[in-house]
Amino acid sequence: MRKYNVAVIGVGAVGEEMLRVLRQRDFPVDQLKVFARSARTVVVDGQSYQVETLNENSFKGMDIALFAGTEGDKGAAVTYAPHAIKAGCVVIDNGADFRMRPDVPLVVPEANAADVKKHKGIIANPNCSTVQMVVALAPIKKKAGLKRIIVSTYQAVSGSGRGGVVQTEEEFRAWASQSGKDVPKHMDQRIAFNVFPHIGSFDDEGYTSEEMKLVNETHKILHDNKIKISATVVRVPVKTGHSEAVYIETAKPISPEKVRALLRKSPGICVIDDPKNKLYPMPVDVEGKDETFVGRIRRDPAVKNGLWLWVVADNLRKGAATNAVQIAEELIRQELV
């Protein structure tokens, strides 16, 4: 098997997870380079990686560049992706900057793997909450069609980066010690013993940018702008693992039993749906796993063709690093790199 030269850009929570996923999935790496704003050594699972300072010439000889990305404005790929592409490297960007550009494919391999062949040097990785929802809904759309999606997310603090995890841990420590310590806020509100419906910036209609990502990215990935989608996103005091209550209305009737059977045979999905025995997906059980977990599949007794699903996934893996590496694997499978 041919091996490939791979660059990982960024060594935050997602960047470290990319290094972990590349190793765990036995990605055919020949030369691996790790870049960030400053040179240093990082250790992931006991293995040391020498981090080089990123510059315009970093991509010479590289085949694939995995940008760990940012949900803020202007991630590193905005500055350096053109240099990578010029060097003959295919860029896979986990940030938000390129997702909605019409000339950039937005890919979840379980849903729209064929779109990778449309790339012009760069492929975008969707938002973490979009990824897991689309994995669960793509088989249902193909079988029964989708008219409407209403989703409420319960998103882990690691989705806001390491700072969110630190804030959560320090707030709980301050409470336990009764120190009265004022913990600096990385997130918008206190998170210990709290939830808040605010991820991203608010628009004039009162929706957050995170909520609109679920709408716009799902339309693009599923190639269907006619699906009516509405979302509410909530930050919860969970370290890792996003959960979603997803309500759908299908175009054609499909029973919960048939949905379970359909999802069980769909790639990348694990169905855990035995609520009478207290079996359903929970973030504490999915951390470190690459699958999207689905349970609580049930009919809406008040609406024809209405169904509820409970969808959980590790936001740092399938929601970010794993999906990016899977895109790279798809490029290799389709001989596009």
Q: Which among 268, 336, 332 has a CA at the least distance from the CA of 22?
A: 332
Query: What pLDDT digit, counting tens, does each position of 131-177 carry?
Result: 999 999 999 999 999 999 999 999 999 999 999 999 999 999 999 99
Which residues have C-beta within 8 Å of that of residue 263, sequence separation ≥ 6? Answer: 136, 139, 140, 269, 271, 294, 297
pLDDT number for residue 254 = 98
- Asked whether residue 247 carries a pLDDT value surpassing 80, the answer given is yes
pLDDT number for residue 139 = 98
Q: Which among 124, 121, 120 has a CA at the least distance from the CA of 96?
A: 124
Looking at domain 4-126+320-333, what is its CATH homologous superfamily? NAD(P)-binding Rossmann-like Domain (3.40.50.720)
CA–CA dist 4, 28 (Å, integer)? 6
- Asked whether residue 71 carries a pLDDT value surpassing 60, the answer given is no
The tokens for 25 are 């999935």
Query: What pLDDT digit, counting tens, does each position of 256-273 carry?
Result: 999 999 999 999 999 999
| Mean pLDDT for the chain overall | 96
pLDDT number for residue 181 = 85
pLDDT number for residue 72 = 52
What's 72-119 look like in SS3?
Answer: CCCCHHHHHHHHHHHCCCEEEECCCCCCCCCCCCECCHHHHHHHHHHC
pLDDT number for residue 163 = 93
The tokens for 112 are 């729209």
- The H or E element containing residue 7 is strand 4-9
CA–CA dist 146, 151 (Å, integer)? 14
Which residues have C-beta within 8 Å of that of residue 334, sequence separation ≥ 6? Answer: 116, 117
Q: Which among 58, 54, 59 has a CA at the least distance from the CA of 88?
A: 59
Burial of residue 63, with CB atoms counted within 10 A of its CB: 0-12 exposed, 13-18 middle, 19 or more buried = buried
Q: What is the mean pLDDT of residues 276-281?
A: 98
Query: What pLDDT digit, counting tens, does each position of 170-216 carry?
Result: 999 999 999 888 899 999 999 999 999 999 999 999 999 999 999 99
CA–CA dist 93, 163 (Å, integer)? 21
CA–CA dist 101, 123 (Å, integer)? 10
Q: What is the mean pLDDT of residues 284-294?
A: 97
Identify the architecture of domain 130-314 in CATH.
2-Layer Sandwich (3.30)
Question: pLDDT band at residue 70, thresholds of 50, 70 and 90?
Answer: low
Catalytic residues: 128, 242
Query: What pLDDT digit, counting tens, does each position of 29-52 carry?
Result: 999 999 999 999 999 999 999 999
CA–CA dist 119, 115 (Å, integer)? 8
Domain boundaries, the chain: 4-126+320-333, 130-314
Which residues have C-beta within 8 Å of that of residue 169, sequence separation ≥ 6? Answer: none
